[in-house]
Amino acid sequence: MSTSVPLIVRLLASSVSVAGRAGKIVRDVMSKGELGIVEKAKDDYQTEADRSAQRCIIASLSSQYPKINIIGEEDNPDNEGDVCSDWLTIDADKEVLCLECPSELQGIKEEDIVVWVDPLDGTSEYTQGALMLKRDPWERWKMYLTHPLISIKWYLSLLQSHYGFLEHVTVLIGISVNEKPVAGVIHQPYYKNVGSENKTGRTIWGLQEIGVGGFTPAPPPNSLIITTTRSHSNPVVEKALQVMNASQILRVGGAGFKVLQLLEGKASVYVFASPGCKKWDTCAPEAILSAAGGKLTDILGHNYKYGASEPRPNKTGVLAAVNADLHNYALNRIPQELKEKLANK
């Protein structure tokens, strides 16, 4: 790769390639069927796919950019240095390498950059998607035959909903400079490309001032459609949804997938009034959403900072929208007492 390409563009191009490699690891772990689930805390799981994908990403990026501070979600105490050569990816996406460098980022050095890695966003949906894939096809038919009350339609919709969860899984690589997310990658390992392309997965990228790529942006829906958590709700999260006066609420997994829904016109606002998300969940989505003209803040309307010493949790929740007007609308709808409740937690 030519070193005449500006650092931020090279790093984004490398991140696009390595995110695709990590996505293949995520699919391979699922195909082997041994997920190696570990419970890190209540409702907070890690699988072999989270661990391996992170090792692949961090080893690949740090071998090429040794002075960049790379922070990943998972602790891998046993295997930090153990990365097979097949995982080391030094390719760079050719289309991204041709991008212009934003004027503000022309002189930056590796030391100025912090990269936030979520090797698998939507672990809960990944493990639930696995439940259905694991079941033997013959067992499935037996279940149908021995339960005459279960209609084929009902069974197919159940199957679809579990397979559908895998679509929520993403690999996130967020690039921040001076505490601000400036570029990012969302890779969706289970996205099914329709048409002539016979490949699974897609990679979406964004770069400040330059724009977004890897998908076709769509205008927001005509009515207010909110996207929110499906696996980490609580009464405060629900209260913040009720006050929005939305025409529809979509409950899906992962911060990456919810921001994809905003970018693709499936929803207009993402509301999560709870502290569960961390910096690696929001860095890449925020960078891409801002590059597309959207906005992501906490529930109080404040920007998160992405310096290496910042606390990991996004304590005051997530509020994102496809544009500043809708963000403002949603921000004004959230009652002050709810904002205070989160801020004082």
Ligand X SMILES: Nc1ncnc2c1ncn2[C@@H]1O[C@H](COP(=O)(O)O)[C@@H](O)[C@H]1OP(=O)(O)O
Question: Applying CB under 6 A, which residues contact ligand X?
Answer: 43-44, 73, 118, 120-123, 229, 231-232, 253-255, 272, 276-277, 281
Q: Report how many residues bind Mg ion under the rule CB under 5 A.
A: 6
Q: How far is the CB of 195 from ligand X (least distance, A)?
A: 29
Give yes or no: 123 in active site.
Answer: yes
Give yes or no: 28 in active site.
Answer: no
Which parts of 281-320 interact with Mg ion (CB under 5 A)?
281
Task: Evaluate whether 219 touches 265 at the Cβ level (below 8 Å).
Answer: yes
| Nearer residue to ligand X within complex by CB, 202 or 258 | 258
| Nearer residue to Mg ion within complex by CB, 170 or 224 | 170
Contacted by 72, from ligand X, Mg ion, none: CB < 5 to 8 Å by type: none
Task: Evaluate whether 199 touches 190 at the Cβ level (below 8 Å).
Answer: no
| Nearer residue to ligand X within complex by CB, 48 or 121 | 121
Contact window for Mg ion (CB under 5 A) among 66-74, 137-145, 174-182, 265-273: 66-74
| Nearer residue to Mg ion within complex by CB, 120 or 210 | 120
Contacted by 15, from ligand X, Mg ion, none: CB < 5 to 8 Å by type: none
Contacted by 43, from Mg ion, ligand X, none: CB < 5 to 8 Å by type: ligand X
Q: Rule CB under 5 A: is residue 167 a binding residue for Mg ion?
A: no
Among 47, 89, 123, 203, which one carries the catalytic annotation?
Answer: 123
Query: Rounded to the nearest 10 degrees, what angle do helices 336-343 and 235-242 cross at?
Result: 150
| Nearer residue to ligand X within complex by CB, 93 or 281 | 281
Contacted by 253, from ligand X, Mg ion, none: CB < 5 to 8 Å by type: ligand X
Binding site as annotated, residues: 73, 118, 120-121, 281
Binding site as annotated, residues for Mg(2+): 73, 118, 120-121, 281
Q: How far is the CB of 74 from ligand X (least distance, A)?
A: 9
Q: How far is the CB of 40 from Mg ion (least distance, A)?
A: 7
Q: How far is the CB of 252 from ligand X (least distance, A)?
A: 7
Shortest CA distance to 240 belongs to which of 270, 267, 282, 265? 270
Residues at the contact surface with Mg ion, assessed by CB under 5 A: 73, 118, 120-121, 123, 281
- The catalytic site residues sit at 50, 123
